[in-house]
Amino acid sequence: MRRRLTPLHYRSDPKWGWLAPLIVTFFAGLLQFWSLTSPPDITFDETYYAKDAYSLLVKQHAVTFINDSETDESEADKIINSGSTEGIFADPVSMVVHPEVGKWMIAFGEWLFGMNALGWRFSAALVGTLMVLVMCRLVRRLTGSTLLGCAAGLLLAFDGLHFVMSRIALLDIFMAFWLLCAVACLVADRDWARVRMARRREPLLDVSRRGFGPVRGLLFRPWRIGAGVCFGLAVGVKWNALFVIAGFGLLAWAWDCGMRRSMGVRWAVAKSFVADAIPGFFSIVGVALVVYVVSWMGFLTHAELYEDEFGHAVDGNDWTWSSVDDNPGNPVGHVAHDLNILWNYHKEVYMFHTGDYIREATHPFQSDPGGWLLINRPLGIASVSGDSEAVPECPEGQECVKQVLAIGTPVLWWGGVIALFVGLGYWLSRRDWRFGIPIVGVLTTWLPWFRYDDRPIFFYYAIAIIPFTVIAVTLVLGKVLGKSESTYPRRLVGVLAAGVFVLAVAANFAYFYPILANQLLSNEAWNDRMWLVEWI
């Protein structure tokens, strides 16, 4: 029993367990940061998030910018692209429709390097690089293999969507990062609890049959608190992280039920609900809620400005916030009033995301979530095409294209669909708990979007899906490699098959690299990379 409770990664070399992932991460960092400032101007929705981040940095709350509009380049964008920030702010507070954590993270880069392309993209590149390290360590923990951990990190680094989203100042890469960190914390917590049980002196089976099994020793679980912090930060980037909290909260409880059952506890599900699920709810959801509210501190310290701007009905289609009727008479009352303003602001934002206005909108690159796993409609982030007049680097007399296309690496994504089905089979038929992680991860980051498929949604939202797909692929590659005691021919075939797949992903990434990194291509070379009509 003690060996069964001992995590796999405890049985591998700890030195290489860190050194090899750090080498892979360094390589990923070179990929992410190389030519990070191309294109040099504000691109796509950077017009919202880079500028919102700068207003948080300068004014500690979101404000509007001069002559902002839905056009490709507002007056504020023109000033920023010219290298200045003089006179870009207008007075009113801004109705931002996503929480503040991601924008504060973007603001960190702007604080370091200024309001320029390097500044507003630095944090995304840093976080995208760190995701590779977290992936290496997480998969190593799951498999006990440093080789497979590094393979997972390389696969993530070679994904086109992850690469593009790590090089642009949008929010989704930050949510994906915190979600991956939260899941890594939950897996570490699972190991921590089992190691704690394996080191108990008394016979586990005899003790556990008399009641709940160990309780006091598992009330304070630091890794679960860490998961709560990370989940709170993920929701503080985008609300759709809430579904992931729900899914992995249930999965973590299932792991606890399995642990108590393996120790001989009778009625393990009911007893685990009392001993594990209730404390776990406070450790994960309670901590996440506190972190989320604290992440709005910039808003809360300027709450009355938002109430004055948005809290009063101006026509029959509007409504007056309940906070307007508050009469705070003491410090506690003022705090409650500010929280009430925040609550009403949340209702306003939710109405924006689900209202008639957004449902009636259209976009040429909107994508049906039903086809995301097969890369049905990638998003053009930036593009310029034409002769040497439109594209100065283009040779005279030729037609050229420079593009940043948010597209996954096809070999990885299409192979990932197969891996997910295989993983589902292992999880359900073989009871291999590890495959539950990618299955729950993909379902909770993908299925909720079907509820909102009547509004414009985009393929790049799937950046939260690909880390879990990579985990599924790597776990299946581990099965392909076979066990260490397998025969030499069996191991050789497994090594060759796994190696060919990883090399195929790397080659596929290299082939698509020019349309991921804004590099010059002839029209013919660009068309060669448009494998599906929907990609054009």
Helix axis angle for 172-198 and 117-143, nearest 10°, is 30
What's the number of CA atoms in the CB half-sphere (13 Å) around residue 147? 7
Structure tokens at 156: 């993530």
| N- to C-terminal Cα separation, the chain | 56
**Domain ranges for the chain:** 46-115, 195-292, 297-354
List helix spans (H) across 302-364. Answer: 303-310, 331-354, 356-360
Paired strand residues for 93:
63
- Single out the residue of 158, 300, 271 nearest to residue 213, CA to CA: 271
Q: How many Cβ atoms sit within 10 Å of the Cβ of residue 424?
A: 17
Q: Is 378 exposed, middle or buried (0-12, 13-18, 19+ CB in 10 A)?
A: buried
- Inter-residue contact 516 to 404 (CB < 8 Å): yes
CA distances 203 to 1, 213, 233, 261, 264, Å, are 10, 11, 40, 15, 11
**CA pseudo-torsion sign 439, 445, 448, 449:** negative
Number of H helices, E strands in the chain: 24, 5
Q: Using alpha carbons only, how large is the chain's radius of gyration in Å?
A: 25
Q: Which residues of 292-305 are buried (b: 16+ CB within 10 A; e: fewer)?
A: beebbebbbebbee
| Torsion of Cα atoms, 30 then 35 then 41 then 47, to 10° | -20
How far, in Å, CA of 259 to CA of 252, rounded? 11
How far, in Å, CA of 356 to CA of 138, rounded? 42
For residue 107, the one-letter residue type is A
CA distances 347 to 352, 452, 485, Å, are 9, 17, 58
Tell me the backbone φ, ψ of residue 39, rounded to 5 degrees: -75, 155
How far, in Å, CA of 344 to CA of 322, rounded? 7
For every residue of 309-323, DSSP letters joined together read HHSS--STT----GG
pLDDT in tens, 249-305: 999 999 999 888 887 788 888 888 888 899 999 999 999 999 999 999 999 999 888
pLDDT score of 67: 79
pLDDT by residue for the chain (536 residues), tens only, comes to 555 555 665 556 788 899 999 999 999 999 999 999 999 999 999 999 999 999 999 999 999 998 766 555 689 999 999 999 999 998 788 888 999 999 999 999 999 999 999 999 999 999 999 999 999 999 999 999 999 999 999 999 999 999 999 999 999 999 999 999 999 999 999 999 888 877 764 445 454 455 666 666 678 899 999 999 999 999 999 999 999 999 999 999 999 998 888 877 888 888 888 888 999 999 999 999 999 999 999 999 998 888 888 887 655 456 788 777 777 777 788 888 889 999 999 998 988 888 777 777 788 888 999 999 999 999 999 999 999 999 999 999 899 999 999 999 999 999 999 999 999 999 999 999 999 999 999 999 999 999 988 888 999 999 999 999 999 999 999 999 988 778 888 889 999 999 999 999 999 999 999 999 999 999 999 999 999 998 98
Structure tokens at 217: 């020793």
- Inter-residue contact 146 to 128 (CB < 8 Å): no
Structure tokens at 370: 């039903």
